[in-house]
Amino acid sequence: MKLAILTCGILPIPAVQGGAVENMIDFYLEYNNRKRLHDITIYSPWDSKAAQHTALDSDVNHYHFIDVTSFKARVKRRLYKYFHSGEYYNHFVEYYFEKIYAHLKKQHYDYIILENCPGHALKLSRRGHKNIILHLNNNLLNSESRFHDEIFSGLASVLTCSNFIKDCVLTIQPNSSKVRTHYNAIDIAAFIHKQPDDPLGSAACYQRNARNTKRAEARKQMGFAIDDFVIAFSGRVNSDKGISELIDTMLLLKDKEKIKLMVIGGSFFGNANGDDDFIKSLKDKAETLKDRIVFTGFIPYKDMPDYLHLADMAALPSMWDEPFGLTIVEALAAGLPLVTTRSGGIPEICEGVATIVDRKDIVNNLAKAILDLYEHPEKRKQMAEASPKRAELFDKEPYSEKFFAALENLEK
């Protein structure tokens, strides 16, 4: 098949600036390049690093970059805003789409795949396109969305990242068969805590001792002792993620001096400008426990596994309806016993291998769950063994395989 992939135009492909959706696009494009399945054109905002990426060497994946950052492009965006008011998205996104469409309308594609941007289906369907697939990673299309009936009727298929998002879409047309769940994924191999091949051999013992020594040294650099019970929180540090409630839980557990918290991450897109007001408020709240709560700040994604492997458990108490929850999969893959909340699509990922608490009375619920793991090492061991096995369901390889299988089923 000949496919076009349209992004929303915020972050580039290849995913040199990160982004959950962008990383998953990279996953299936990498798979397509290896398997040589389809002829794909990916439309992306221009980025100097992306434009020099080795992924562009592919002869089955074709990258078409749109300039949205030059002085000339910024002037044109402003003019577009002046002459086009009241569109589905803001002028930045709509200008980007029109630049894509100038190229796209001269091509023939079997399917046009919209990555997380249902609003673009309006213009496409109104201009005669009927081969539109929406790949949805957020609750952006439901019975409360603008033009929801028109958007939905113009789509050939909707792939959602969880059953939770699927159910949101089905509020438009409950009996529709064109909405299917396709779970998100990560590179599991990057997070797995590899064990020695021979647990009884001297070489394996040496590897284990070396790893334990390295872990002790890394913990010391972070301000943790080897016998501390370290809880890891990872991801964007904002109010939706439950970090404020987790710090309140630490205050409630202040008498348990060995329980420590490592907050891994910063605000959106790397926190390049330092702490925002929310992070400052968290640090003020944590001041009385400053020796027991460590804020790492933004950590490059490639280094995340090293930080997770320093912890004894993860606590990811999301306070909003997470569409999926990649940090949940990362914690599982890293072999961490996990405490999380019954929020959105999270239970679909970790039901049966994690402790899932209700958001109501969250601080007390978290305290009980953390104390339970702190006081029961055998339970932690069982959860740590089960977690990576569960995470394998959300690996990038089956994700990519099933993504293309879903597209090919539309042809039957």
Q: Domain check: are 84 and 226 in the same one?
A: no
Q: Domain check: are 87 and 43 in the same one?
A: yes
What's this model's pTM, rounded to 2 decimal places? 0.91
Q: Domain check: are 167 and 239 in the same one?
A: no
Q: Tell me which residue range forms the domain holding 142.
A: 2-185+396-409
**Rounded to an integer, what distance in angstroms lies between the CA atom of residue 294 and that of residue 243?**
13
pLDDT over threshold 90, residue 189: yes
> Could you identify the residue written with the tokens 């630049």?
99
Q: Domain check: are 161 and 303 in the same one?
A: no
Degrees to nearest 5, angle at CA 299 with 293 and 300: 165
pLDDT over threshold 90, residue 134: yes
Tokens standing for 161?
């990242």
Q: Domain check: are 404 and 294 in the same one?
A: no
Give the total number of structural domains in the chain.
2
**Rounded to an integer, what distance in angstroms lies between the CA atom of residue 368 and that of residue 284?**
25
The CATH number of the domain where 179 resides is what? 3.40.50.2000
pLDDT over threshold 90, residue 272: no
pLDDT over threshold 50, residue 367: yes
Q: Domain check: are 161 and 216 in the same one?
A: no
The DSSP result for 352-406, as a single string, is: TTSEEE-STTHHHHHHHHHHHHHH-HHHHHHHHHHHHHHHGGGBHHHHHHHHHHH
Q: Domain check: are 199 and 317 in the same one?
A: yes
Question: What does the pLDDT look like over 323-357, one tens digit per residue?
Answer: 999 999 999 999 999 999 999 999 999 999 999 99
- What is the pLDDT confidence band of residue 256, given thresholds at 50, 70 and 90? very high
Q: Domain check: are 139 and 245 in the same one?
A: no
Q: Domain check: are 226 and 365 in the same one?
A: yes
Q: Domain check: are 155 and 199 in the same one?
A: no
Q: Domain check: are 196 and 158 in the same one?
A: no
Q: Domain check: are 336 and 232 in the same one?
A: yes
